[in-house]
């Protein structure tokens, strides 16, 4: 039955996959781990039943346990049709950790939203078909081969055939471009992920680098080059507006296909747009740490906000607080996710407001009625009202720093209550998402208008950016955290101020780690030495951004002005894309660039080893890993 479910994981209709002679063979290869699980279950229960052959009662119990395991594997296979899209692969230990072990998490909410009565009916139908097929085969064999002569030679032949298949299957699957995601069996993948997360580390962590290999951070051009950051004495306030789950491709100025953000587009003449900005890790709590602390995330499925909330690094808010700024953090969702509230408590904010505390007469955007569901959101109009009530009435008061973080564009996407606009897309969730994005844009427009009404527009540097991206089927993935393709990590980034900017576009590669130093550069303030980023206006900076995702695989990557590198450390697979010619990452050039690939692995190893050493200064040593993953 798992063989028949597998085409749904591939997302290919039955009439298509079985409509050509090779289709049966492709599904057989894609079912490799399903067959491995089935063979293991049969072998285990046969070995268990043999000593009990003269005890009918015990054999019936063994048979019932076998049937239960078989049905469980069918249900897990059906669930994987959904989770492979939502999570980018099988449920892993890292996903559970990120979701606080399914306590009001992305995983839990995603499953609730997608496991319906229709799914339950389908599961029952497949279960009935499985049981019916087993009964028919049992009685047919009893009738046609009552003495078991056929089984005496059929079983060894089948065993030999399976051994050959298991030996040759991975190589043939690779030859047919079948990825682990479309082949994975969720019941085998989860215990494997526990081992990989707790008992091993990717080989980048232990790679020996050539003597004299480039340092990290790599030095930029030598010489005394002039500062390029614009400056005006009247600019004294900072407001960071973070668009939840918004990749660059949906923002104006980035060749957006959908006009979902007209308010932002209206302010482009008073803005500077940065061409290539990246999230260092596609998750919200890590973005909070990176944006405020100019700190790369912990290179692990663990997170700084949860494991080390009091980490003693200077932050954008605390440094401005020392200089007399009023500071506020306004978050439409729940800051309890991954202990963001614990991290924020040590960042020098005067006010931290979120879904739980923002006053709102409008109904909350709730996934369900659980009060601790981290995907619930306050209506963003209430987020805006909370922020504007906190803002000074005029420019005569003390300078301020505010961070405003939207939420309705996060899965499962909360469009405003009025009828949805049809953006002409076939994907239902994408249309919901675009309507939610338009609503966030409306709030941004109101906020910018309120700054102008209060006479704060010229004195305020407004930063508009995404915290990470969101995928809707490209590279066979949905959501944001499962990988580091452009739709996952390439984010919009705008600086808005009528005195400083006039529609410029800065061709630079940077990351969220560079945001705080860039703001300090515009304000002509010295950046703390502990900050790991560099100002986007620094002429000596190296145009390179690093990123990482541990949730489905251990994926590491970096971007240069021309190339994007993605290295899957568990599968030892490298992808290289020429983003100038191939912005949607369709053609892997790795096989054509072996020298560049080798250097890329070394650069990534230098980064992760540097970061581990850097964090040890503030958090103490990490436990020594028990093994090193290396699948080359």
In this structure, of 128-137, 220-229, 263-272, the range with the lowest mean pLDDT score is: 220-229
CA gap 615, 622 in Å, rounded? 9
In angstroms, the first-to-last Cα distance of the chain is: 34
CA gap 80, 514 in Å, rounded? 38
Q: Which is it for the CA torsion 235, 238, 243, 248, positive or negative?
A: positive
Q: Where are the domains of the chain?
A: 2-184, 190-214+553-632, 237-534
What percentage of the chain reaches a pLDDT higher than 90?
Answer: 50
**Domain 237-534 carries which CATH code?**
3.40.720.10
Cα 359 off chain centre by? 30
63-84 residue pLDDT tens: 888 888 888 888 787 777 766 6
Helices (H), 330-390: 340-344, 380-390
- Res. 124: pLDDT tops 90: no
Q: Which is it for the CA torsion 239, 371, 285, 321, positive or negative?
A: positive
What mean pLDDT do residues 480-502 have?
Answer: 95
> What CA dihedral angle connects 82, 87, 93 and 94, to 10 degrees?
-170
Options 3.40.720.10, 3.40.50.300, 2.60.40.10, 3.30.1120.10; CATH for 190-214+553-632 is 3.30.1120.10
The answer to whether 278 and 491 are in contact (CB under 8 A) is: yes
pLDDT band for 98, please (50, 70, 90 cuts): low
Secondary structure letter of residue 554 according to DSSP: -
CA gap 62, 519 in Å, rounded? 67
292-343 residue pLDDT tens: 999 999 988 889 999 999 999 999 999 999 999 999 999 999 999 889 999 9
In this structure, of 165-174, 327-336, 440-449, 519-528, the range with the lowest mean pLDDT score is: 165-174
In this structure, of 265-274, 443-452, 617-626, the range with the lowest mean pLDDT score is: 617-626
- The pLDDT score that the predictor gives to residue 298 is 92
Give 254-313 as a DSSP string: S--SS---HHHHHTGGGEEEEEEEE-SSSSHHHHHHHHHH--PPPSSSS-HHHH-TT---
The answer to whether 448 and 263 are in contact (CB under 8 A) is: yes
Tally of CA atoms within 13 A in the half-sphere of 417 that contains its CB: 7
346-369 residue pLDDT tens: 999 999 999 999 999 887 777 765
The residues, ordered by sequence, that sit 6+ positions from 38 with a Cβ below 8 Å of its Cβ are 2, 70, 73
236-256 residue pLDDT tens: 999 999 999 999 999 999 988
7-52 residue pLDDT tens: 777 666 776 667 676 777 888 888 888 888 888 888 888 888 878 8
What CA–CA distances, in Å, run from 126 to 119, 122, 193, 550?
Answer: 11, 6, 27, 33
What CA–CA distances, in Å, run from 590 to 117, 173, 585, 595, 604?
Answer: 45, 19, 12, 9, 15
Residue (of 266, 242, 240) closest to 252 by Cα position? 266
> Which residues are paired to 365 by β-bridges?
377
In this structure, of 128-132, 406-410, 504-508, the range with the lowest mean pLDDT score is: 128-132
In this structure, of 43-52, 179-188, 554-563, the range with the lowest mean pLDDT score is: 179-188
- The pLDDT score that the predictor gives to residue 546 is 97
What mean pLDDT do residues 509-538 have?
Answer: 96
- Res. 623: pLDDT tops 60: no
Residue 526 has which token pair? 């010295």
pLDDT band for 592, please (50, 70, 90 cuts): very high
Give 496-554 as a DSSP string: E-TTT-SSEEEEEEEEGGGHHHHHHHHTT-PPPTT-----TT-TT----EEEEE-SSS-
Query: How many residues are there in the chain?
Result: 632
Residue (of 288, 31, 303) closest to 162 by Cα position? 31
Residue (of 550, 549, 581, 585) closest to 565 by Cα position? 585
Q: Is 177 helix (H, G, I), strand (E, B) or coil?
A: coil
Shared fold status for 190-214+553-632 and 237-534: no
The answer to whether 565 and 574 are in contact (CB under 8 A) is: yes
- Res. 625: pLDDT tops 70: no
CA angle 248, 253, 256 (to 5 degrees): 60
What CA–CA distances, in Å, run from 543 to 114, 256, 506, 518, 559?
Answer: 41, 24, 12, 14, 8
pTM assigned to the model: 0.79
Where would I find the beta strands (DSSP E) of 398-503?
400-405, 460-466, 471-472, 478-479, 490-491, 493-496
Question: Mean pLDDT score of the chain, rounded to an integer?
Answer: 86
- The pLDDT score that the predictor gives to residue 11 is 67
pLDDT band for 109, please (50, 70, 90 cuts): very low
CA gap 532, 125 in Å, rounded? 55
């Amino acid at each position: 039955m798992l063989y028949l479910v597998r085409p749904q994981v591939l997302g290919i209709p039955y009439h298509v996959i079985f409509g050509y002679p090779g289709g049966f063979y492709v599904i057989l290869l894609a079912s490799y781990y399903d067959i491995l699980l089935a063979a293991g279950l049969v072998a285990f229960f046969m070995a268990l039943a043999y000593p009990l052959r003269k005890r009918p009662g015990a054999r019936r119990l063994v048979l019932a346990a076998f049937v239960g395991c078989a049905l469980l594997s069918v249900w897990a296979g059906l669930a994987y049709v959904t989770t492979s899209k939502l999570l980018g692969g099988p449920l892993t230990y890292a996903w559970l950790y990120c979701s606080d072990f399914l306590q009001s998490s992305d995983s839990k909410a995603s499953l609730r939203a997608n496991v319906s009565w229709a799914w339950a009916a389908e599961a029952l139908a497949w279960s009935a078909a499985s049981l019916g097929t087993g009964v028919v085969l049992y009685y047919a064999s009893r009738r046609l081969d009552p003495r078991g002569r056929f089984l005496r030679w059929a079983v060894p032949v089948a065993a030999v055939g399976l051994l050959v298949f298991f030996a040759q299957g991975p190589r043939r699957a690779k030859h047919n471009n079948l990825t682990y995601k479309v082949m994975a069996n969720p019941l085998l993948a989860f215990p494997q992920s526990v081992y990989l997360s707790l008992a091993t580390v990717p080989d980048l962590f232990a790679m020996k680098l050539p003597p004299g290999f480039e340092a990290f951070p790599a030095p930029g051009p030598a010489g005394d080059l002039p500062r390029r950051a614009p400056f005006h004495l009247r600019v004294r306030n900072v407001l960071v507006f973070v668009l939840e789950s918004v990749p660059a491709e949906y923002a104006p100025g980035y060749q957006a296909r959908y006009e979902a953000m007209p308010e932002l587009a209206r302010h482009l003449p008073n803005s500077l747009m940065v061409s290539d900005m990246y999230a260092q890790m596609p998750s919200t709590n890590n973005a909070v740490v990176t944006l405020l602390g100019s700190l790369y995330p912990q290179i692990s499925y663990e997170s700084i906000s949860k494991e080390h909330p009091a980490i003693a690094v200077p932050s954008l808010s605390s440094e401005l607080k020392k200089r007399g700024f009023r500071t506020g953090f306004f978050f439409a969702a729940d800051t309890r996710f991954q202990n963001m509230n614990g991290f924020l408590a040590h960042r020098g904010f005067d006010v931290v407001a979120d879904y739980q505390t923002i006053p709102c007469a409008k109904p909350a955007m709730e996934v369900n009625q659980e009060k601790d569901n981290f995907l619930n959101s306050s209506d963003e109009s209430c987020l805006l009202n909370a922020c504007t009530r906190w803002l000074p009435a005029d420019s005569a008061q003390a300078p301020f720093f505010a961070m405003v973080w939207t939420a309705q564009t996060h899965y499962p996407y909360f469009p405003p209550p009025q009828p949805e606009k049809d953006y002409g897309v076939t994907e239902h969730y994408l249309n919901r998402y675009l309507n939610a994005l338009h609503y966030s844009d409306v709030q941004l427009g109101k906020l910018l208008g309120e700054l102008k009404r209060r006479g704060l527009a010229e004195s305020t540097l407004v930063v508009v950016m995404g915290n990470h991206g969101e995928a809707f089927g490209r590279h066979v993935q949905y959501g944001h955290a499962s990988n580091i393709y452009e739709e996952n990590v390439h984010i919009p980034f705008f600086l808005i101020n009528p005195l400083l900017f006039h529609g410029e576009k800065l061709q630079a590669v940077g990351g969220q780690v560079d945001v705080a130093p860039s703001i300090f550069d515009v304000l002509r303030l010295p950046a703390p030495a502990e900050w790991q980023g560099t100002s986007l206006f620094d002429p000596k900076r190296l145009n390179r951004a690093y990123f990482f995702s541990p949730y489905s695989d251990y994926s590491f990557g970096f971007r240069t002005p021309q190339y994007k590198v993605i290295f899957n450390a568990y599968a030892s697979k490298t992808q290289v894309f020429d983003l100038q010619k191939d912005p949607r990452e369709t053609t892997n050039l790795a096989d054509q660039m072996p020298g560049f690939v080798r250097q890329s692995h070394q650069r990534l190893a230098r980064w992760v080893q540097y970061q581990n050493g850097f964090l040890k200064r503030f958090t103490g040593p990490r436990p020594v890993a028990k093994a090193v993953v290396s699948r080359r």
